[in-house]
Amino acid sequence: MIRVIERSALSLFRMMESAFNQIFGERWNPWYQLGALSFYFFWIVTVTGLYLFIFFDTSISGAFESMEALTNNQWFAGGIIRSLHRYASDAMAITVTLHLLREFSLGRFRGARWFSWFSGVPLLWLLFASAIGGYWLVWDQLAQYISEITTEWFGWLPFIGDSLARNFVSNQTLSDRFFSLLVFMHIAIPLFLLVGMFIHIKRIKLPKTSPPKGLARGTLAALILLSLIKPAVSMNKADMSVSVTSIDLDWVYMNVYPLLDSWGYGPVWALLVGISGALAILPWLSPNKKNTQQAAEVNPDNCNGCSWCYQDCPFEAITMIEHDFKKGHKQAQVDPDLCTACGICAGSCPSATPFRHVDELISGIEIPSFSIDHLRQETHKKLEALKGNQRLVVFGCDHGNEIKRIADDQTAVISLPCAGLLPPSFADYISRQPEIDGVMVSGCCSQDCYFRKGTEWTEQRFHRERMPHLRTKAGQQKVKLFWAGPAEGKKLKQALTEYRIELAIHKAEETEGSGHD
């Protein structure tokens, strides 16, 4: 059932991502930057919040007036910043929620990725607590409504009781000291949220915590424009002697408040705790079907301690230790609990080259389910089956476009767990074969690699910016890189057609040049 929901959600996300690619391009597509945008919005909220705090009066009597002065007397700064603070906070809640749903649809909560998923669940509570606490500080009628309902809601819990709610019985029971405590909480909770966010990405190497500059600037401009068009304003001042009958809720953060009125406090607690609990144990409710022993394995006989795999692992699953039998040398060590079996480490190993004259090709590190020797055998098998005048080999990715659709007599296709598993030496080796006209390497969208760094590292390896890289001129001339997401089959076919034309033109030019000689 869970996997059926996953597939349905993923189909919806793929359609939206493809549409946004047409508008923004892959680099600025916000669907590929949801986590980074969440961090970005957090910093906007932090900076604007610091400015507001400078002018904020933390007393019961002065809170409302100070916010009104900021909004009206400083409309050019304080008013815009208040609105920006509000809308950036809403935007963060939206991107965090979409990020959670998208990671679920991609299945990126299982196996070694359980930690990031599990650690993200408490962040939802901290995020909503931070925002709702901020509404209290305005101390208008909306704040009055929130404070009354929230304290009664928490007071329903037996270990809290109704002592908290008594602070909001009348104007006389409220104190500046209690209000200062609310201000302190509104500062402390976001700090805990920030710490939690960094714990959330702890197991990820080089996490993406800031969106591309163009997307960041455009997003900030949109928030400022929204702040000018529809500025955030207060309702009338809170008065505990008067019941609040009409309010304008922030549906992003207060979507459960109507349920508190209609369902009661207990059922809403059951709903939220139930959802949080289900999210927290989801990695174990729907575990990986693959054997957990498929983590990368190190062969000390072929590991020279170069540390390239250590540098390239996107999930910090590899460490360097003393070599088993080579004194003064290092060797890689894999933590199977952190390994996602992407194979990027195998693609970085200098011993993973088909140029080696051995019966069985064993590299320093590889994943058992898709060994380098298996890749060599599969490659030779596909090469032997090729026919026609223009023979191409296309390496793809299991999580990218389904390359089997482009296979024919002239096109051999080999799908890998990740494009990053392909050592550049394989493309180099194939391109030297006189009967092969070209090699294309495809995979996930350049901004949305399933294993985070597969496309990026492959780009750098094939462009001689990262080791190991293509070493021969023939390899550089006859190899083409093209990234296409799962829903971009037409783009891949078009790219393949254009590549064939390029190769035909290049071959004709070479033939013409040889004739003149």
Domain containing residue 158: CATH number: 1.20.810.10
- Please indicate, yes or no, whether residues 419 and 368 belong to a single structural domain of this protein: yes
Please say whether the beta carbons of 291 and 329 come within 8 A: no
- Please indicate, yes or no, whether residues 362 and 234 belong to a single structural domain of this protein: no
Please say whether the beta carbons of 168 and 148 come within 8 A: yes
- Please indicate, yes or no, whether residues 278 and 308 belong to a single structural domain of this protein: no
Q: How many angstroms separate the CA atoms of 356 and 506, rounded?
A: 30
Mean pLDDT across 78-92 = 95
Sign of CA dihedral 480, 485, 489, 490: negative
- Please indicate, yes or no, whether residues 333 and 481 belong to a single structural domain of this protein: yes
pTM for this one?
0.92
Q: How many angstroms separate the CA atoms of 71 and 138, rounded?
A: 11
Q: How many angstroms separate the CA atoms of 202 and 315, rounded?
A: 9
Where do runs of H (alpha helix) occur along 106-202?
Answer: 114-138, 141-155, 176-200
- Please indicate, yes or no, whether residues 389 and 455 belong to a single structural domain of this protein: yes
- Please indicate, yes or no, whether residues 310 and 257 belong to a single structural domain of this protein: no
Please say whether the beta carbons of 100 and 260 come within 8 A: no
- Please indicate, yes or no, whether residues 269 and 318 belong to a single structural domain of this protein: no
Question: How far does CA 34 lie from the centroid of its chain?
Answer: 6
- Please indicate, yes or no, whether residues 301 and 236 belong to a single structural domain of this protein: no
Mean pLDDT across 364-368 = 94
The whole-chain average pLDDT of the chain stands at: 90
pLDDT band for position 247 (cuts 50, 70, 90): confident
Looking at residue 469, what is its pLDDT? Answer: 86
Mean pLDDT across 218-239 = 94
Please say whether the beta carbons of 375 and 415 come within 8 A: no
CB atoms near residue 378 (< 10 Å): 15
Helix (H, G, I), strand (E, B) or coil at 440: strand
Please say whether the beta carbons of 204 and 39 come within 8 A: no
Residues spanned by the domain of 435: 292-516
- Please indicate, yes or no, whether residues 188 and 86 belong to a single structural domain of this protein: yes
- Please indicate, yes or no, whether residues 304 and 276 belong to a single structural domain of this protein: no
Q: How many angstroms separate the CA atoms of 376 and 360, rounded?
A: 10
Asked if residue 173 has pLDDT above 70, the reply is: no
- Please indicate, yes or no, whether residues 311 and 415 belong to a single structural domain of this protein: yes
Give the closest residue to 394 by CA, choosing from 378, 406, 377, 385: 406
Q: Choose the most confident range, by mean pLDDT, from 19-23, 245-249, 357-361.
A: 19-23
pLDDT in tens, 442-460: 999 888 999 999 999 999 9
- Please indicate, yes or no, whether residues 26 and 125 belong to a single structural domain of this protein: yes
CB atoms near residue 406 (< 10 Å): 20
Q: Domain total for the chain?
A: 2
Q: What are phi and psi of 299, to 5 degrees?
A: -110, 105
Q: Which two tokens stand for residue 495?
A: 């790219």
Domain stop point among 264, 285, 306:
285
If one compares 239 and 423, the residue with the highest pLDDT of the two is 423
